[in-house]
Structure 1
Amino acid sequence: MSTEPSQDTQPSAEHWRSYGPLGLHPILVHAMEAFNEQGYHGTSVRQIAGRVGVTVPALYYHYENKQALLATLLETSIKDVLDRCRAAAAEAGDDPLARFCGMVESIVLYMTHRQRLAFLDTEIRSLEPENRARYVALRDYLQHMLLDTVEAGRAQGVFTTPIPADAVRSVLTMCQGVANWFRADGPLTAEEVAERHVLLSLGTVGHPGTVTGDTALPLARPSLTRSAQRASR
């Protein structure tokens, strides 16, 4: 079975920056919250059922077991990231610099807007082998998307890193880490965090403009600082 996301579910160019309600089944929402608060192994099916307000047999009617809940949440998350990332790349076209910036922006925006769901990536260790293999294949696909773009940029002299695979792994680790510390009421907006991580990521892959200070980021719109937001109210 292919792990490539379906073209039919790819978000539109505008949609990849837009975030509405999460749209998860209530059982998944409460499982996500419990896993975030107590960890996968610290949470029982009975506790999740209690949060939802259903019996344990009723929960099992929808999901086979606790492992199925975690696997569904993680796959939902990575598939959404992939679809948004691919839409960002499609919007950017063939320019590797624009594609790279768009993909990094889309990943970081996801980490800020879907923080509780993205944070569950830390529970990959709790997945059973078959579920883990499926999830890792999807995550590897995301890594290869970025790596292909960096390699294209190297061929054009846009990126100069001599170790592209290591650079891409570093970029993804940095971007995924945003889910661990971002605060919606903090000093930086989601857009500011994304813009800064695009700049940091360009430095990681060796874009010359990050050294000279001449980098013009191909972002969709200028970010509005938190202080400017407060002043405009």
Structure 2
Amino acid sequence: MTTDRSATAAGTSRDWRTFEPVPLTPILAGALEAFYEHGYHGTTVRDIARRVGVTVPALYYHHPSKEALFVTLLLLGTDDVADRAEAAVADADDAVQALSNLTEVVVLHMTTRHKLAALDLEARYLGQESRARYAAPRRRIDALVDRVVADGVESGQFHPTDVHEAARALLGMWQSIARWFRDDGTLSGEEIAARYVPLSLATVGHGG
């Protein structure tokens, strides 16, 4: 396996399975609820200010625009899951364990922090500069998935038709969880992660 464990060794010191509450200011917490309930276009700065109990000028003092608020929240979630994903892969001894860990950590993010994760579905509305900022942590995750699948092919553990297509399929499958997961659902995040690990391994042709 060609995954460079030393390159991400610093990440192994963190507990990538434990998702602490994200520290949000009252304004960010109010904005997250508004974006989750109404989407990016359906949310107004006035609505966020009303939820928080501040004036619109006071809100603008801390965040210059609705887009700035949205990007701040988007990056809080994506930067963190990118760090955790790298730690999870560094914690594995082979490609099968790497993909299992990677699936687990992304699914836990999608469920434990599903309101933050759901913002990804609205990222297409961002301006060019904001999209570029968001693209950086996304590229880290995309590249990591590609690398893990390629490692599995090299080691003979995975047999996908195409590495990049399999990686895209995995990302799409994981990200779709944010569309349907609810806190009051019948399955916990851990249970969903346990179900998605064999699905991910099947997607890359392992064990079939």
**TM-score, normalising length: structure 1:** 0.81
AA of the residue aligned to 1:189: S
> Do 2:36 and 2:118's aligned partners in 1 also have CA atoms closer than 8 Å?
yes
Q: Deviations 1:22-42 (Å, cap 9, x if unpaired)?
A: 211111111111011112112
TM-fit CA distance, 1:134: 2.1
Q: Percent identity?
A: 49
AA of the residue aligned to 1:99: A
Q: 1:190 to 1:154 in 2, by over 3 A?
A: same
Distance 1:152 1:10 in 2: 19
Distance 2:19 2:149 in 1: 27
Distance 2:205 2:148 in 1: 13
AA of the residue aligned to 2:125: S
Q: Deviations 1:122-142 (Å, cap 9, x if unpaired)?
A: 111111111112212321220
Q: Hey, what does 1:26 align to over in structure 2? A: 26
Distance 2:181 2:43 in 1: 24
> Do 1:63 and 1:69's aligned partners in 2 also have CA atoms closer than 8 Å?
yes
Distance 1:13 1:105 in 2: 15
Q: Deviations 1:59-87 (Å, cap 9, x if unpaired)?
A: 11111111100111111111011011111
AA of the residue aligned to 1:129: Q
Q: 1:197 to 1:171 in 2, by over 3 A?
A: same
Distance 2:31 2:12 in 1: 26
Structure 2 runs not aligned, ≥5 long: 1-7
Structure 1 runs not aligned, ≥5 long: 1-6, 212-233
Q: Does 1:148 align with 2:115?
A: no
> Do 1:184 and 1:190's aligned partners in 2 also have CA atoms closer than 8 Å?
no
Q: Deviations 1:121-169 (Å, cap 9, x if unpaired)?
A: 1111111111112212321220110111111110110001121101111
TM-fit CA distance, 1:187: 2.5
AA of the residue aligned to 2:195: R
TM-fit CA distance, 1:13: 4.0
Q: 1:71 to 1:194 in 2, by over 3 A?
A: same
Q: Which has the higher contact order (CA 8 A, sep 6+)?
A: 2
Distance 1:186 1:124 in 2: 26
